[in-house]
Chain A
Amino acid sequence: MQQDRPMTRWERFKDNDIVWSFLHSPGAIVAATITLIAILACVFAPLIAPFDPFDPAQISLWDGKLPPAWIDGGQPQYLLGTDNQGRDMLSTILYGGRLSILVGLAAVCLGMVLGVTLGVISGYVGGVTDAVIMRIADVQLTIPGILLAILINGIGRAALPLELREEFAIYVVIIAIGLTDWPQFARVTRGATMVEANKEYVQAARIIGLPGWMIMLRHILPNTLRPVLVIATIGLALAIIAEATLSFLGQGIPPTTPSLGTLIRVGNEYLFSGLWWITFFPAIALVVLVFAVNLLGDWMRDALNPKLR
């Protein structure tokens, strides 16, 4: 780009290599659009959804088990049909997706905070602390995440008294998935921290006598965040799948405030009576959501880290 006048902010933004890569990758644009639409639809579910599935006044059992609008017997106000309780499928999916995304984000955040903190400490302090943290991460990585999440979630549920289980189910799920997530974050952050720690600006900060925590927080941490973002995106897809799986197993979000996984579980019981839409639409919503987030993560990995290409 010619420099006869200073670049405007927008031009500088467009000139950024990440933005360039994004605008030249149709897959990434489609994935980002789908993800954005899904997130917006779920965030604004109360405004978009034609019905409120949690309002008993809007639900009538008479309208239960109606097929989608384009099939014989369907009614135009229920576009995707209704479930066994007469709730509009489209509305329950929007509300369910909202919960799924929320739980996924919360779980990834928990795993990220935990993993990045331990990773920076591990990489900066080194020695025994480093050895202990990384050994734990190694051991945890040998066990498949979904199994670990099922086990931690199971222990968490069992530890709660029966009457509190439904109320706290969502937190137990978030903690279980977050705790299985952290080793990836810790490993990547530790590697990046070790690279940064030897650079001159960190040594300069040390010489002027800044305390260790401040060097870690203010100087090293911001420089390790690129790879963390990639792992967080791929982790979000995995966390959404993990939540759906736990809920499908009946170990996650209770049917009173269903997530996508819970909806699929409930619908599964009606599959044999031929009421396929109660399972089918939430399942499709879940698959599309996960697929879009996955594609986005793949693109981000390529764009942010040329070494992995």
Chain B
Amino acid sequence: MLFFILKRLAQSVLVMAIVSAVSFSLFNFVGDPVNNMVGQDATREQRIEIRQQLGLDDPILTQYTRFLGNMMRGDFGLSYRIKRPVDELILERLPATLELVFVSAIIALFVGITLGIYTGIRRKSWISRSILSVSLVGVSLPTFIIGIALIYVFAVHLRWLPSSGRSGTIEFGWWKTSLLTVDGWRAIILPAITLSLFQLTLILRLVRAEMLEVMQTDFIKFARARGLSERAINFRHALRNTLVPVITIIGLNIGGLIAFSVITETVFQWPGTGLMFIQAVDFVDVPIMAAYLVFVALLFVLINLIVDILYFIVDPRIRLGE
């Protein structure tokens, strides 16, 4: 157990080292940091002075160690464009992304599991069949097209919901939430549905497949033979046994939600970290790009580490294999 976790940890550290090296090299190879600090019309002396202040004349390895040290403290310097500390900007934007991901995850889980159970139990009914065909189409639709379609129907045509931005926020210290007002919920509903749809279909199909498989097992046949009610068989015996694989993929799905939040945030102009990254690329705002890179890598490394350890605890076969 300890060895397994140590091995995974070592791998995670290696990944972070590579990602940090990439984001460090961004500073050196993308644009001239001095130009970005002082503008075009600074004198030669000013430039040399700033070079020394920034330590750009030090050996590369010294610079990289310094970058790593700063990274550990979450310090990525000032944004070139907005001239504010990057960690501050990310913290400001983070609640928007996390709330969006959270609401989408709830929708995907709740609707996905419910429909999955339904289509698993009533697999011959026409409702199940149509749910499945719709979900097949849902998988091949690119996220941004779903977003545009929802905007056109609910914002442009019916005028029920706002098409962009985040409104009705209330502050709790640094955390701005939009989940406590009606306006906030109206704004989050379309992006959250857009983001959740793909994961929803995945969960639906997984739960359905697991339900079908469990229904074939001997213990369900035995439960039938004992004369238990359909309800007890479906929910007490079948459903419970389908949930283990579902729970383990939820972790990985959160990663997927964060990945697709970049697209959803751009479609709905949702002021989260993904939109910030896209805007940073447009303006070659290297500190924000570097920070986002490290942030995303860290998130994925953590999610994978947790999922691996969970697998290890849940499934004894992996323990024997190691």
Quick check: B31 and A142 within 8 Å, CB to CB?
Answer: no
A residues 200-248 near B (Cβ < 8 Å) are 237, 241, 244-245, 248
Within the complex, the shortest CB–CB distance from A133 to chain B, in Å, comes to: 15
Q: Which residues of A contact B140 (CB under 8 A)?
A: 237, 287, 290-291, 294
Q: Which of A158, A162, A241, A291 makes the CB contact (< 8 A) with B286?
A: A158
Question: Whole-angstrom distance between the alpha carbons of A237 and B142 in the complex?
Answer: 11
| CB-nearest residue of chain B to A244 | B142
Question: Whole-angstrom distance between the alpha carbons of A96 and B26 in the complex?
Answer: 32
Quick check: A287 and B141 within 8 Å, CB to CB?
Answer: yes
B259 interfacial contact with A, CB 8 Å: yes
Question: Whole-angstrom distance between the alpha carbons of A68 and B267 in the complex?
Answer: 26
Question: A interface vs B, CB < 8 Å?
Answer: 135, 139, 142-144, 146-147, 150-151, 154-155, 157-159, 162, 237, 241, 244-245, 248-251, 264, 268, 271-272, 274, 276, 279, 283, 286-287, 290-291, 294
Quick check: B30 and A286 within 8 Å, CB to CB?
Answer: no
| CB-nearest residue of chain A to B12 | A139
Give a binary string over B59-71; 1 marks a CB under 8 Å from any A CB, 0 the rest.
Answer: 0000000000000
Question: Whole-angstrom distance between the alpha carbons of A27 and B53 in the complex?
Answer: 66
- The verdict on A158 contacting B281 (CB below 8 Å), with A264-B145, A287-B140 known, is yes
Provide the main secondary structure of the chain B interface: helix
Question: Whole-angstrom distance between the alpha carbons of A294 and B255 in the complex?
Answer: 24
Question: Whole-angstrom distance between the alpha carbons of A142 and B8 in the complex?
Answer: 13
List 7 additional A-B contacts (Cβ < 8 Å) besides A144-B259, A159-B30, A271-B148.
A135-B11, A142-B304, A143-B255, A150-B262, A250-B278, A268-B148, A290-B142
Quick check: A144 and B15 within 8 Å, CB to CB?
Answer: no
Q: Which residues of A contact B143 (CB under 8 A)?
A: 245
Quick check: B300 and A245 within 8 Å, CB to CB?
Answer: no
Question: Whole-angstrom distance between the alpha carbons of A159 and B255 in the complex?
Answer: 27
Question: Whole-angstrom distance between the alpha carbons of A264 and B11 in the complex?
Answer: 41
Q: Which residues of A contact B263 (CB under 8 A)?
A: 146, 245, 248-249
| CB-nearest residue of chain A to B293 | A151
| CB-nearest residue of chain B to A291 | B140
- The verdict on A245 contacting B255 (CB below 8 Å), with A264-B148, A274-B156 known, is no
Question: Whole-angstrom distance between the alpha carbons of A155 and B255 in the complex?
Answer: 21
Q: Which residues of B contact A237 (CB under 8 A)?
A: 140
- The verdict on A155 contacting B289 (CB below 8 Å), with A144-B256, A287-B140 known, is yes
B residues 249-278 near A (Cβ < 8 Å) are 255-256, 258-260, 262-263, 266-267, 277-278
Give a binary string over B10-32; 1 marks a CB under 8 Å from any A CB, 0 the rest.
Answer: 01000100000010001001110
Give a binary string over B96-109; 1 marks a CB under 8 Å from any A CB, 0 the rest.
Answer: 00000000000000
Quick check: A249 and B145 within 8 Å, CB to CB?
Answer: no
Question: B interface vs A, CB < 8 Å?
Answer: 11, 15, 22, 26, 29-31, 137, 140-145, 148, 151-152, 156, 163, 255-256, 258-260, 262-263, 266-267, 277-278, 281-282, 284, 286, 289, 293, 296, 300, 304
Quick check: A271 and B156 within 8 Å, CB to CB?
Answer: yes
Q: Which of B142, B259, B282 makes the CB contact (< 8 A) with A241?
A: B142
Q: Which residues of A contact B256 (CB under 8 A)?
A: 144
Question: Whole-angstrom distance between the alpha carbons of A151 and B26 in the complex?
Answer: 12
Quick check: A279 and B148 within 8 Å, CB to CB?
Answer: yes
Which residue, of A146, A249, A279, A283, has the highest number of chain B Cβ atoms within 10 A? A249
Q: Which residues of A contact B281 (CB under 8 A)?
A: 154, 157-158, 251
- The verdict on A143 contacting B11 (CB below 8 Å), with A159-B29, A271-B148 known, is no
Quick check: B260 and A146 within 8 Å, CB to CB?
Answer: yes
List, sorted by A's number, 5 A–B pairs whose CB atoms are closer than 8 Å.
A142-B304, A144-B256, A147-B258, A244-B142, A264-B148
Question: Whole-angstrom distance between the alpha carbons of A76 and B140 in the complex?
Answer: 33
Q: Which residues of A contact B152 (CB under 8 A)?
A: 271, 276, 279
Q: Which residues of B contact A143 (CB under 8 A)?
A: 255, 259, 296, 300
Quick check: A147 and B262 within 8 Å, CB to CB?
Answer: yes
- The verdict on A272 contacting B260 (CB below 8 Å), with A142-B304, A251-B278 known, is no
Q: Which residues of A contact B26 (CB under 8 A)?
A: 155, 158
Q: Which residues of A contact B286 (CB under 8 A)?
A: 158
Within the complex, the shortest CB–CB distance from B74 to chain A, in Å, comes to: 20
Quick check: B296 and A139 within 8 Å, CB to CB?
Answer: no
Q: Which residues of B contact A287 (CB under 8 A)?
A: 140-142, 145
Question: Whole-angstrom distance between the alpha carbons of A151 and B259 in the complex?
Answer: 10
Question: Whole-angstrom distance between the alpha carbons of A244 and B300 in the complex?
Answer: 25
Q: Which residues of B contact A264 (CB under 8 A)?
A: 144-145, 148
Q: Which of A250, A274, A283 makes the CB contact (< 8 A) with B145?
A: A283
Q: Which residues of A contact B163 (CB under 8 A)?
A: 272
Quick check: B151 and A271 within 8 Å, CB to CB?
Answer: yes
Question: Whole-angstrom distance between the alpha carbons of A155 and B23 in the complex?
Answer: 9
Q: Which residues of A contact B284 (CB under 8 A)?
A: 158, 162
When A and B form their complex, which 5 residue pairs have the shortest distance between CB atoms, in order from nearest? Answer: A147-B259, A144-B259, A154-B281, A158-B284, A291-B140
Within the complex, the shortest CB–CB distance from B25 to chain A, in Å, comes to: 9
| CB-nearest residue of chain B to A298 | B136
Q: Which residues of A contact B31 (CB under 8 A)?
A: 158
Question: Whole-angstrom distance between the alpha carbons of A286 and B148 in the complex?
Answer: 14
Which residue, of A135, A142, A244, A283, has the highest number of chain B Cβ atoms within 10 A? A142
Within the complex, the shortest CB–CB distance from A259 to chain B, in Å, comes to: 13
| CB-nearest residue of chain A to B275 | A249
Q: Which residues of A contact B258 (CB under 8 A)?
A: 147
Within the complex, the shortest CB–CB distance from A291 to chain B, in Å, comes to: 5
Quick check: B277 and A245 within 8 Å, CB to CB?
Answer: no
Quick check: A249 and B278 within 8 Å, CB to CB?
Answer: yes
Question: Whole-angstrom distance between the alpha carbons of A22 and B73 in the complex?
Answer: 59
Quick check: A151 and B282 within 8 Å, CB to CB?
Answer: no
Question: Whole-angstrom distance between the alpha carbons of A250 and B140 in the complex?
Answer: 21
